[in-house]
Amino acid sequence: MQSKRASLYESLFNTFSGFLLSLIVGYFIYPRFGMTQSWGDSFLITVIFTIISVARNYGSRRLFNFLHIKGEVVWLAMRSLVYALSNRLRGTWSWYRPIYALSIALFVLIYIKDWYAFSIAFALAWGGIAMGWGDWDCVATNRNVAKPVLYTEGDYNGIQWLAEKIISSDAHWLNHCRVCLVLMGAYRAAFLLPLIYWCGWSAVGAFLFLTPMFWLASELGYYTTKLWNFRFMTGGWEHQETWYGVGIAIAIKILSLGV
């Protein structure tokens, strides 16, 4: 995208070269149409039209730059809304999970245009969203600070074990769950890392963004439940899934920067 200063410099250069050409050509063309003028008059007329031309070129270029930025923002907002709703549906209906993973993989295919990348994204995205993580999210989104007597997340005992090494669940239950959610975010965002072959470091950037987003979505869910609730979004868990869908859309945008 061109800066304002670069737009101005380009307009000045183009117009100055046109100014000299117009001044010379006009001096010889005007008399042929019955408009005999001195060099001074030709110079003054050319200056007036030059000022108008500079303003027109600069204004039109800034307008198109603005429309380009606005279009990108609108497109990102629309995609965020779609993924927010889609991730919420994934949490509501288990049969929707492969469809959700497919939608992520399709965006990867659109940007990268490679079926191997599509297959990797689909397989890893589906694998990363197929299981639950109830205790940690309920604590973060509802501030349920009471540690359960039987604490185990089943399929994610590895994450639970690592989080215990960082912050003990007995020492601080809420912060322990926050660490678990960040580690869970890394697990679920892992589908982005193999895409470094096609997207370079933007795949790493998308991964680093999405890793803490799993926890941040829970924190946002806790606060937004106090502001609004409606059908299919009546609790912190539902809000978390919606915010995480927004994070997915932003991560895909980051990923596209390396294509």
- The answer, yes or no, to whether residue 69 has pLDDT greater than 50, is yes
Query: What value does the mean pLDDT of the chain take?
Result: 76
pTM equals 0.62
Judged by average pLDDT, the poorest of 72-81, 141-150, 236-245 is 72-81
pLDDT tens digits, 141-185: 877 667 776 676 655 577 888 888 899 888 888 888 888 888 888
- The answer, yes or no, to whether residue 42 has pLDDT greater than 80, is no
Considering 89-93, 146-150, 211-215, the range whose residues carry the highest mean pLDDT is 211-215
Which pLDDT does position 241 carry in this prediction?
79
Please tell me whether residue 130 adopts helix, strand or coil conformation. coil
Average pLDDT, stretch 219-227? 85
| pLDDT interval class at 91 (50, 70, 90) | low
| CA 147, 150, 156, 162 torsion-angle sign | positive
| CA atoms within 13 A of residue 213's CA, in its CB half-sphere | 21
| DSSP assignment of 6-27 | HHHHHHHHHHHHHHHHHHHHHH
Q: In percent, how much of the chain has pLDDT > 70? A: 75
| pLDDT interval class at 85 (50, 70, 90) | confident
| pLDDT interval class at 70 (50, 70, 90) | low
Q: Which is nearest to 178 in space by CA: 167, 170, 186?
A: 167
| CA 162, 92, 214, 192 torsion-angle sign | positive
pLDDT tens digits, 99-142: 878 877 887 777 778 887 788 777 766 665 544 466 777 777 87
**Higher-scoring residue by pLDDT: 136, 7:** 136
Which pLDDT does position 132 carry in this prediction?
46
Which pLDDT does position 156 carry in this prediction?
55
Average pLDDT, stretch 78-82? 71
- Residue 230: beta bridge partners? 233
- Whether the Cβ atoms of residue 103 and residue 84 lie closer than 8 Å to each other: no
Give the whole-angstrom CA distance, residue 10 versus residue 172.
Answer: 60
87-96: which pairs have CB atoms within 8 A and are 24 or more residues apart? 87/241, 87/242, 87/244, 87/245, 87/248, 88/232, 88/233, 88/238, 88/241, 88/242, 88/245, 90/129, 90/241, 91/237, 91/238, 91/241, 92/232
